[in-house]
Structure 1
Amino acid sequence: MQFKPVPEPPDDLESLETILKAVPTEAGVVEDCCQHLLEETRLDARNEAETWLVFLRALELVTEEPAGYRRCSSAKGGSDDTALVLERCQRAFRDRVYGANLVLEALERAEGPLTDSETFGAVRGDVPAFDREVDTGRLETHWTERIRRLLEWGILFGLVERTTDGRYRPATERERQ
């Protein structure tokens, strides 16, 4: 299963951790998880909190149960090695976030670094038909913004690096560690 919501990436992994820590460790201990995130973090709007919860679910850091959302045991910190958690996030990002693998593969195939618009050009033909038919007038704007967010998350997870001229390329092995 792949998940579509992709929040605006934070500046660092610590900001991601702050939002994750605001998710209860047990489902049902808060009545409204979105409201709880708004109260405990710098998130401003309910739809932003919803996007974050679904995205964290895609990364397998949060799970949804009948009683509500809760942090997964692997996301609670403690004895887990940070490198192993990052590796799990990288895998889940590629496998479970809609379009992430498509974008990363486009960078890997490219002969050099790409802008977000050039990345859209590289994947445009691979955008599923149902997405292309929904609103053809907004397709490029929507997907270029989505790709920018995916690329920035890729940087955060050590899968992508930004060049000095603002283009993107796959991270070198040194960057991934």
Structure 2
Amino acid sequence: MTRYKVAPPARSVEFLETARAAIPLVPDSEADCCGAIRRATGVADRETAREYLTFLRALGLVAESDRGYHRTREDLDRDSVAAAYRERVFLVAELLDAVAVRPRSAESAFEAVRDEIPNWERQRDPDWERHWLERVDRLLAWAVLFDCLAVENDRFAPAQ
């Protein structure tokens, strides 16, 4: 199974619904879909819109065909989205497993998964730790929105 290395800024489930609704049922180009996301959500730039498009794809809410991207007909069910999030977004399963052992701050969660970050990612970016800590922060925030985690005393813990 493909795991996507995408972690756009966490917004809300309603934001995802709006972004997804902007994607047509008939396949369209990446550029047109990014423009649709920008118009529907107010996302400021194309690169961030592309991150959300890829994130929607990782969650199974958007699909890609040889003709472009299109909205799937699946319901936006929180349990299904949470399961896809865990299975299809890089580092999420490892973060959730690390937090299941004991509640962790974002920094502690990053330390628990840092060895999972591919070596080529470390080599291509001299500031890789800052970049990946930000990514972990975003992944944890999405996990809270999908009811996978809760925040207790500035630490992430499994949701009850």
TM surpasses 0.5: yes
Q: In the TM superposition, what is the alpha-carbon distance from 1:122 to its structure 2 partner?
A: 1.3
Aligned partner of 2:116 among 99, 105, 126: 126
SS of residue matched to 1:152: helix
1:3 aligned partner, one-letter code: Y
Equivalent pair of 2:63/2:70 in contact (CA under 8 Å) = yes
Equivalent pair of 1:24/1:30 in contact (CA under 8 Å) = no
Structure 1 portions without partners, runs of 5+: 76-81, 173-177
SS of residue matched to 2:74: helix
Q: In the TM superposition, what is the alpha-carbon distance from 1:26 to its structure 2 partner?
A: 1.6
Amino-acid identity (%): 34
Q: In the TM superposition, what is the alpha-carbon distance from 1:20 to its structure 2 partner?
A: 1.1
List aligned pairs for 1:1-177, cutoff 5 A: 1-10=2-11, 12-28=12-28, 32-75=32-75, 85-110=77-102, 113-135=103-125, 137-163=126-152, 165-172=153-160
Which deviates more, 30-39 or 16-25?
Answer: 30-39
CA displacement, residues 92-123 of structure 1 (integer Å, 9 cap, x when unaligned): 1111101111111110122xx21111111111
TM-score under structure 1 normalisation? 0.83
| Closer/same/farther in 2, CA of residues 166 and 26 from structure 1, 3 Å limit | same
TM-score under structure 2 normalisation? 0.91
Q: In the TM superposition, what is the alpha-carbon distance from 1:57 to its structure 2 partner?
A: 0.3
Alignment: residue pair count: 159
SS of residue matched to 1:105: helix
Q: In the TM superposition, what is the alpha-carbon distance from 1:72 to its structure 2 partner?
A: 0.6
